[in-house]
Structure 1
């Protein structure tokens, strides 16, 4: 029993160290193909004793707090772990915003885990297709236009809140710095297509309007009415819409 207690204490200490120093790490191996279920047969713990099987269950409970994802045994990696098909297929823009973003993050390509990069395809309906103001809290974005004409921009942080914009044509490239609010808007009369590279396997997405007026539970309308200098009825209307 003393040996078991020692192993439990050792594992808990190791976990505490992992969580205390959690950050976006540089890879220490060729790749770290993610597994979404820590009970996956490819996880290293499963080859150990029944005791470590119990520890594995404990890790399953805490997996959501790990900065990134657990790795499968690299010997079990296949080409499909690094593959995603179909970015040649146009996204469906028949929606309220007239746009469709097709992400390729670690959720779509498990082999992106720890590599600090991801991708997205952006489709826009003719004049008015909008990827609305949003931020990526963990990534800088670089966008290249393949088809159409996009009006794009971002807003700098306080105290200036300066709007920096540009009209982009096929072959043009534009960068949106990490964490800043930005948007893309189709001002052409044809469909527009762009691709974005992002400097994180999981860049995150905060749509500004949805976050503010569509939070769950809703923000007190009095707070938003005062913050945006709006009538409370306008705020409640926006909350009902989002």
Structure 2
């Protein structure tokens, strides 16, 4: 182990948006954090700097989460650096919106590769490596329940994440490892805000009874709960959406 940090977390997509908020929140809980990124090393370095400046322990790692060899290397590097893996949070994902009849199948395949295959590959390796008392937290989406037009393909990928998560929780019987998914509602991240006009954003902010968009920190609180004290929540999709659905 490094220093006084006894638990180790890998956060995919940890360089920005919800992923960065999760990485910083887990570090605040005295976890050593591996901030994973796919393409933007600079933002990942910024996330690590923000953590270490507050006295936390963090490092960066790059991998294509849909590539089993690169994911194995990610876990190997984490174990070499910190001694093991206790928490895996898979926030990495892409969202490409279009009505079903107009969707370019290349976009469908891109989303499937990251959101479904990536979650599957990462879950495989997490199931092999997580220590007793560990937690795997995947990312679903409230749009699976809301059934919003133009979200067909994206919601389909997140429905697949739900299925994998719930079944894997049962397959890990006897391991003392929890497996859950977090399903954010409308959350003010670059991924969510991109391509939306202000009128649309304002409308979405009125949907929850709390009458605002979620913040990345709201989602990070839910992840921290599942990653730490919530040992009796297992095989669940937790909707963190302010009551929108």
TM-score between both structures, scaled by the size of structure 1: 0.22
Higher relative contact order (CA 8 A, sep 6+): 2
Structure with more of its chain in strand, by fraction: 1
Structure with more of its chain in helix, by fraction: 2
